[in-house]
Amino acid sequence: MAWRAWAAALLLAAAHAAAAEESSAEMYTRLGAEVEARGDYLRAVEYYRKALLFDIGYGPALNRLGHALRRLAEIYAEEAVGVYEHALRRDPANARALREQGELLIWRGELARARANLRRLEGLDPEEAGILRRALERR
């Protein structure tokens, strides 16, 4: 008889633990959404990842994590384009910067700008131009 009470208590404790985990996943997802709404995508990513520690399959956290990471990628990609532009203003013959910026532009879907980088590269560095040409062909 005592084992039944123990088993029932164990099942009740497991149910409470599962509910607490679900609540934690929801709580961290809510916190992530709050900071994301203020544009703090890095912190939002941290919260969504914490939510997923409690429930790896929690759909809202997975969706929001994907969105926050995509926004960060867009933000950092825009910054990277600017960094390459700065490098090219300082050294217009910087073939590596031209090629890498071109690859980034391809990733962003800015194929006309990537082709312009290729035209510049063809006169500077045939090897770098070949790398960018192949990247454009794969697109």
Digit-coded pLDDT (tens) for 67-113? 999 999 999 999 999 999 999 999 999 999 999 999 999 999 999 99
Distance CA 85, CA 5 (A): 71
Per domain, the residue ranges of the chain are 1-70, 91-139
Please enumerate in sequence order all residues whose Cβ is within 8 A of that of 67, keeping only pairs 6 or more positions apart, or say none: 36
Distance CA 43, CA 8 (A): 40
* pLDDT score at 18: 52
Q: Looking at domain 1-70, which CATH architecture does it have?
A: Alpha Horseshoe (1.25)
* pLDDT score at 139: 87
User: What per-residue string of b and e applies to 19-45 under the rule 16 or more CB within 10 Å gives b?
Assistant: eeeeebbbebbebbbebbeeeebebbb
Q: What is the mean pLDDT of the segment spanning 13-37? A: 78
Identify the CA nearest to 102 among candidates 40, 66, 87. Answer: 87
* pLDDT score at 12: 42
Q: What is the mean pLDDT of the segment spanning 114-137? A: 97
pTM score over 0.85: no
Residue 93 backbone phi and psi in degrees, to 5: -95, 15
Q: Which of 19-28, 31-40, 73-82 has the lowest mean pLDDT?
A: 19-28
